[in-house]
Amino acid sequence: MNIGIPKESRPFEYRVGLSPAGVEILTRLGHQVVVEHDAGMGAGFADREYEKVGARIVFSPQEAFGRADFVLKIARPLKEELEWINDGAILAGFLHLASASQDQIDLLLQKKISAFAYEQIADAQGGRTVLRPFSLICGSMVAQIAARWLQTNRGGKGILLSGAPGVPPAEAVIVGGGTVGTSAARAMQNAGAHVTVLDKSMAALERIHKELPGVTTMMATQRNIQRATAYADVVVGAALVSGQRAPIVVTREMVRGMKPRSVIIDVSIDQGGCVETSRPTMHDAPTFIEENIVHYCVPNITSVVARTASRVFLNSAIPYIVEIADNGVEAAMKNNASIEAALNTHRGEALHLVRLNGAEAKQ
């Protein structure tokens, strides 16, 4: 199969669709791989590293997309990039189509592209196989992000996560006890904060209670979320429903009830955000002030640790990439339920894409 790895074009996206180690696996299996010039630069992978393992370097994005039967991306392509993809080709990436514009989805359907969303790959137990490593990294980064934006010079309250002798630690409230939320709770606790996690699942709360002694757990009722956000110095929004827009669990009224210059980190923003006052930001200007609260709402948080993220991604995603490349999308769908469940569009139809800007799609 002809496989294309274009350079990521979205601002501050430093990750790459596949590392040289992954390309080597594909070329040894007989696949042809083209890599756009400097596609791996942000993650520290030079063109020569790709050439050494059998890739061909091309010098325009149109060529990287246009030569490929199978396009490997990280972020969702821009509309212009979707137009460069061949009709009937396969596209893989963290697509988050539930929060995409309708014209992008229409183009995928019109061109009969098989859109394969890494974030929806699940194992037999429902675990998000490819998303999980990124979620762990993202959660680990939450503590350092919170510490930075609580500083006075960043517009925060001027408090230390760990507190100090005679001064209590920061109150960190995490809404969502999944992979991101648990990782964030661990990182916050290790940084010395007092941590509260809210979730609708008793099983999730029991797991956190067992794994992280000292972390307070609460059911994520509206009343409890309102109470917890009111005393929080940091609120982490980590609510997610796979394939759908993130549910709004922290309302504007709750944000108004928070202590001035507290920090909100909405890690669900790539799925639309779970805080009503959130809107996407970028790494060059990652925060804004709304209702006198600092909001950090960067969708691609792990992009700034691009080398680690790209290597972790390879470990989790390469089996699925190889299966599709070796067998084609039809056979891969038939043989692997995880692949079938991650296809959002195929042959002009919407599959496993719960919402198209609010409209119901095929299940």
Catalogue the active-site residues: 96, 270
Tell me the torsion sign for CA atoms 138, 144, 148, 151: positive
Cα-Cα-Cα-Cα torsion 196, 200, 201, 207, nearest 10 degrees, comes to: -10
Distance CA 90, CA 268 (A): 26
Determine which helix (DSSP H) or strand (DSSP E) holds 186, and give its type and residue range: helix 179-190
- Sheet of 287-290: strand order equals 216-219, 194-199, 171-175, 234-237, 263-266, 293-296, 287-290
Residues ≥6 apart with Cβ < 8 Å to 69? 1, 2, 3, 86, 89, 90
Query: What SS3 state is found at 189?
Result: helix
First-to-last C-alpha distance (Å) of the chain: 29
The answer to whether 123 touches 338, Cβ cutoff 8 Å, is: yes
d(CA 189, CA 191): 5
SS3 category, 72: strand
Looking at residue 136, its amino acid is L
Decide the pairing of beta strands 343-346 and 171-175: unpaired
DSSP secondary structure, 296-353, as one string: E--TTGGGGGHHHHHHHHHHHHHHHHHHHHHHHHHHHHHH-HHHHHTEEEETTEE-S-
